[in-house]
């Protein structure tokens, strides 16, 4: 069967993004085609490894690859300095070499943590992303962003380190918890808002035909939808590898979303849930500034709600803390927050002139 591969091409690298049913079985062949012949360091988490880790290890060993595995706790707690240090200790103690490769089997947390380890150990070794969550398949595994969380902000410590391959097996979504699946749809919807109005319309059509969020998350052709959403990330990263220009649009909903995650404790609110809340707030800010119509704000909110995603801040969250945390956002320049704001479904603009009073108003009203 053809792969229908996507390809990320930047100034420093080029690699395939493969989305499909059962493609994880092709990993040994693909590693050989990439010329990766050293030891393999498989990093996964406690939710994913029991489903796929042992079988993947066996498949790799059967063709002669030396492979060792390390399992981190599931959830955002895994993206900590302590877990990163533990990975270093494990790999150095077991004799990691520069020709080796790290395999990141899991969601965005595993991809970010294992990716940062690959980027920094021995000053950098090969990385292969094997995303098992929807969020990671369409977003986190693509583009080379790696990192860990800090108590003062999310993803503030990390490095750009492009993988050699992204292999997204949609069969792994069958064991994904429903809440995690809904969280991933936030990033799919986000990609429709920022650059693909047709994708947004497809999601709307599907949601209109169904009755519940659980039904909405089950698409008749998930591979095609996931590949189309991933294509948005691939296209943007290919033009702006290190977020010096257009790549900032991928942060739509993330300024307030990341602040919310930090304020509530990482993992209390899932990343996609926080992004959905941030998207609705950003759309309302855009409407208040005359950039977006009220009808389009409503369209976005209805679609997020149809997929079972929240759109309002929890009532007990300190709004002043949220505002303070936005100033630690990676997009801040000269103490000015650069907001990604929608101008219509399918297009956004980046603004650094959003009045604080407007943000306060939106936060207070939610």
Catalytic residue IDs? 123, 145, 187, 233, 243, 247, 251, 254, 258, 271
Distance CA 279, CA 275 (A): 6
List the structure tokens of 164.
Answer: 């050699």
- CA-to-CA distance for 126 and 119, rounded, in angstroms? 8
Asked whether the beta carbons of 27 and 16 are under 8 A apart, the reply is no
Question: Could you give phi then psi for residue 360, rounded to 5 degrees?
Answer: -60, -40
What span, in angstroms and rounded, lies between the C-alpha atoms of 187 and 193?
10
Q: How far apart are CA 208 and CA 216, in angstroms?
A: 9
Tokens at 196, concatenated: 């693909």
Residue ranges of E strands in the chain: 6-9, 14-20, 40-45, 67-72, 101-106, 126-131, 145-150, 153-160, 165-169, 339-344, 347-351
Q: Which residue has the tokens 């996931």?
A: 226
Nearest partner of 307 among 224, 233, 227, 203, judged by Cα:
203
Residues β-bridged to residue 69: 42
Per the DSSP assignment, residues forming a β-bridge with 158 are 147
- The rounded distance, in Å, linking the Cα atoms of 37 and 103 is 13
With contact defined as beta carbons under 8 Å apart, do 355 and 286 qualify? no
Whether 113 contacts 83, CB under 8 Å = yes
Contact 151, 239 (CB under 8 A): no
> How many Cβ atoms from other residues are within 10 Å of residue 14's Cβ?
12
> What is the DSSP secondary-structure string of 95-115?
T--TT-EEEEEESHHHHHHHH
Give the β-pairing of 126-131 and 145-150: unpaired
């Amino acid at each position: 069967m053809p792969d229908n591969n996507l390809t990320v091409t930047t100034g420093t690298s080029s690699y395939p993004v493969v989305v499909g049913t059962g493609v994880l079985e092709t990993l040994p062949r693909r590693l050989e085609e990439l010329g990766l012949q050293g030891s393999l360091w498989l990093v996964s988490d406690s939710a994913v490894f029991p489903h796929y880790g042992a079988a993947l290890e066996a498949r790799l060993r059967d063709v002669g690859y030396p492979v060792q595995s390390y399992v981190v706790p599931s959830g955002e707690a895994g993206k900590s300095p302590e877990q990163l240090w533990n990975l270093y200790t494990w790999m150095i103690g077991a004799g990691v070499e520069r020709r080796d490769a790290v395999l990141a089997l899991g969601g965005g947390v595993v991809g970010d943590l294992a990716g940062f380890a690959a980027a920094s150990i021995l000053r950098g070794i090969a990385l292969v992303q094997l995303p098992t969550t929807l969020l990671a398949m369409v977003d986190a595994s693509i583009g080379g962003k790696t990192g860990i969380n800090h108590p003062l902000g999310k993803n503030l410590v990390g490095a750009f380190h492009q993988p050699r391959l992204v292999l997204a097996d949609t069969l792994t979504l069958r064991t994904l918890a429903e809440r995690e699946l809904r969280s991933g749809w936030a990033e799919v919807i986000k990609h429709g808002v920022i650059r693909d109005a047709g994708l947004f319309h497809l999601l709307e059509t599907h949601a209109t035909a169904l009755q519940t969020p659980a039904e909405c998350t089950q698409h008749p052709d998930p591979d095609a939808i996931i590949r189309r959403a991933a294509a948005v990330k691939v296209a943007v990263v290919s033009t702006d590898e290190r977020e010096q220009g257009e790549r900032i649009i991928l942060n739509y909903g993330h300024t307030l979303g990341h602040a919310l995650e930090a304020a509530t404790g990482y993992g209390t609110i899932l990343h996609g849930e926080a992004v959905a809340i941030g998207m609705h707030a950003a759309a309302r800010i855009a409407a208040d500034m005359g950039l977006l119509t009220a009808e389009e704000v409503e369209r976005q909110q209805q679609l997020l709600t149809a997929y079972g995603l929240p759109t309002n801040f929890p009532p007990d969250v300190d709004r002043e803390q949220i505002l303070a945390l936005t100033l630690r956002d990676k997009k801040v320049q000269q103490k000015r927050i650069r907001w990604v704001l929608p101008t219509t479904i399918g297009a956004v603009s980046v603004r650094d002139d959003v009045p604080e009073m407007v943000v306060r108003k939106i936060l207070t009203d939610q």
